[in-house]
Amino acid sequence: MKKLAIIGECMIELNGEPFGNMWQTYGGDSLNTATYLARITSQDQIEVRYISAMGTDKLSQGMLAAWQADNINTDFVLRDKHRQPGLYLIQLDKQGERTFLYWRNQSAARYLLQHPDYPKVLTALQNMDMIYLSGISLAILPETDRTLLIEQLRELKNQGVKIAFDSNYRPKLWTNLEQAQECYRALLPLVDVALVTFDDEEMLWADSNEQATISRLSDFGIPIIVVKQGKCGAIFCQNGEQQFVPTVAVDNVVDTTSAGDSFNAGFLAGFLQDKPLEVCCQQGNQLAGIVIQHKGAIIDKAATANLKAQFNA
């Protein structure tokens, strides 16, 4: 059995129109990936552990119960009696594209590394096959904690733990562009699997095209690079060899929230079972294509129930 630890933050999600009809659920890029990955894989093949901090309030408890029902191991979701989860609001346009408003500066997850039980988490990470995190996982942390986490990941990498990273660049979470670039430059040499979206790379690094992104990431020595292109599909590069993997067109796009996160889940489900990278990308495309036909970051599990047997055949 492969063990994957996913580090990040989950927040309360409000979806709808301000002063209109709103509905409440939860989401967050890393938790979205953890949820879909746990839903589409067998526990005897892949154990998904979520690493974060939550409050002791009823909403936090309800979210933990929901994650456990999705077969996510929450043993190292630390509880903070002084803080609660963050909050975000999604607004959608007619094409299903979304904009976000966030309230997260005092969220429990932001202070994960300062929690008195965090050393136990760090010890547990030594026994993982892979650790997955995103640019958001880094951006929400205080700067000193961000630097410390990268140093800890360096030590874990030296001990043989693989690192997967989705750059997931969100400008509002960083003081400026240079701060984000400096942080990413420190982490990228540690990365074994880069799962990036071209739009983010273009915004952060001014990459002219996908080939520029692949070339730049290759310079960091990353052995496996996947560049997501939204509705077009994805390009993967392994040891200098590239291949484009198209996706199937989706006519009924309702909400693109979590498209990249669910792609990552489908990809990692294959990767952790040693499937060819083309198949991993196909799985990512297929899962994302289902997710974007529903509202919210976490859709009803019935919508993807058939994938578990298919992806684990």
Predicted TM-score (pTM) of the model is 0.94
Q: What band does 214 get if pLDDT is binned at 50, 70 and 90?
A: very high
pLDDT of the residue at 245: 97
**C-alpha to C-alpha distance for 59 and 65, rounded to whole angstroms:** 10
In the chain, pLDDT over 90 holds for what percent of residues?
81
Domains of the chain: 2-10+28-85+105-312 (3.40.1190.20)
What are 254's two structure tokens?
A: 């309702």
Q: What band does 61 get if pLDDT is binned at 50, 70 and 90?
A: very high
> pLDDT of 99-118, one tens digit each?
778 888 889 999 999 999 99
pLDDT of the residue at 254: 85
Helix (H) or strand (E) holding 129: none
| Average pLDDT for 68-74 | 97
What are 22's two structure tokens?
A: 């709103």
**C-alpha to C-alpha distance for 54 and 100, rounded to whole angstroms:** 21
pLDDT of the residue at 251: 84
Average pLDDT, the chain: 93
**Active-site residue, from 29, 75, 261, 274:** 261
- CA dist 35 → 40, 85, 148 (Å): 9, 17, 27
pLDDT of the residue at 296: 81
**C-alpha to C-alpha distance for 54 and 109, rounded to whole angstroms:** 6
Q: Which residue has the tokens 């942390």?
A: 141
**C-alpha to C-alpha distance for 102 and 11, rounded to whole angstroms:** 9
What are 59's two structure tokens?
A: 């909403």
In the chain, pLDDT over 70 holds for what percent of residues?
97
pLDDT of the residue at 295: 83
> pLDDT of 225-245, one tens digit each?
999 999 999 999 998 899 999
Any residues with CB less than 8 A from the CB of 50 and at least 6 apart, and which?
5, 6, 8, 10, 30, 31, 34, 67, 72, 73, 74, 76, 77
Helix (H) or strand (E) holding 117: none
The DSSP line for 237-274 is EETTEEEEEE----S-----TTHHHHHHHHHHHHHTTT
Strand partners of residue 164: 132, 193
Q: Is 261 a catalytic residue?
A: yes
> pLDDT of 247-295, one tens digit each?
988 888 888 888 999 999 999 999 999 999 999 999 999 999 999 999 8
